[in-house]
Chains A and B, each alone.
Chain A
Amino acid sequence: MNSLRIPILKIGDVLIASIQIALHDASAVQFKDDLLQKIHDTKARGVIIDLTAIDVVDSFIGRMIADIAAMSGLMGARVVLTGLQPAVAITLVELGLELTGVLTALNLEKGLAVMQRQTDQAEESSDGTG
């Protein structure tokens, strides 16, 4: 079956993906591959993944998110998760997935602000060494 691709938008040097469909395993893997390729192609410095519409994050999706964060980090892009529903956050922790090291923000707007702060800090510190 042909799965629906999750659109990835680019604003400045930030990529934004809003997951609006229930992810089955194949579409989750596809999304990970698409996103990493797009980070590479656009040299994005940040990625925002909006999960507002997602009502289940199980170990498979949880691992995918952790993988995306780790791999993006290696490519120089930070990941911020936004819109995690309270029920999803609680379930994740009870399941045993802490998603340590992944930045989160309440919503897309706050996510962009977090991203901006990260980028500013990076620039300041690189200015400092110059």
Chain B
Amino acid sequence: MAQAKAAVIRSDLDIVIARTLARDTAKALGFGAIDQARIATAVSELARNIFLYAGSGSVTVREIEKSGRKGIEIVCEDQGPGIANLDLAMQDGFTTSRGMGMGLPGAKRLMDQFEVKTKEGEGTTITCSKWRA
């Protein structure tokens, strides 16, 4: 299995680097153009949240396989403030930054699996994946 690749998120330029890494990996794994766009867009949202709310963190992309099926897994990790109310944060339109509140719910819709682990004062880890058709 291919090695995981990581992008450090420290600035808005790193958001572009992270989503390009995700797209390139998805393409190499044989995902079609629409799935590549879905994956890159989800990573863009999650990486921006890291930059905006935690200041810094990382995005790790790797290939996964389950009963002969190939997929991509993305782990977005930060040691920021954590998400105070996750149920609320997952709702369309909820924002604490005058954003559109589309990032988390939108990224969830774009991926097949989406899991958030967060603790106030400790940080947030979002693991999401998508399987190849």
Instruction: List A contacts of B20 (CB < 8 A).
Output: 22
Contact check, B109 vs A56: say whether CB atoms are below 8 A apart: no
Instruction: List A contacts of B102 (CB < 8 A).
Output: 59, 62, 95-97
B interface size (C-beta, 8 A): 27
Chain A binding surface SS class:
helix
| Alpha-carbon separation in the docked complex, A22 to B44 (Å) | 12
A58 contacts chain B at the CB level, 8 A cutoff: yes
29 of the cross-chain contacts (CB-CB < 8 Å) are A1-B13, A22-B20, A55-B23, A55-B37, A56-B23, A58-B19, A58-B41, A58-B44, A59-B45, A59-B99, A59-B100, A59-B102, A59-B103, A59-B106, A60-B44, A85-B37, A86-B33, A86-B34, A87-B34, A87-B36, A87-B38, A90-B38, A91-B34, A91-B110, A94-B106, A95-B110, A96-B92, A96-B102, A96-B105
Considering only residues 1-37 of chain A, those with a C-beta below 8 Å from chain B are 1, 22-26
A interface size (C-beta, 8 A): 24
Contact check, B106 vs A96: say whether CB atoms are below 8 A apart: yes
Which 7 pairs between the two chains have the least Cβ-Cβ distance? A87-B37, A95-B106, A58-B44, A25-B12, A59-B102, A87-B34, A91-B37
Chain B binding surface SS class:
helix
Instruction: List A contacts of B38 (CB < 8 A).
Output: 87, 90-91, 94
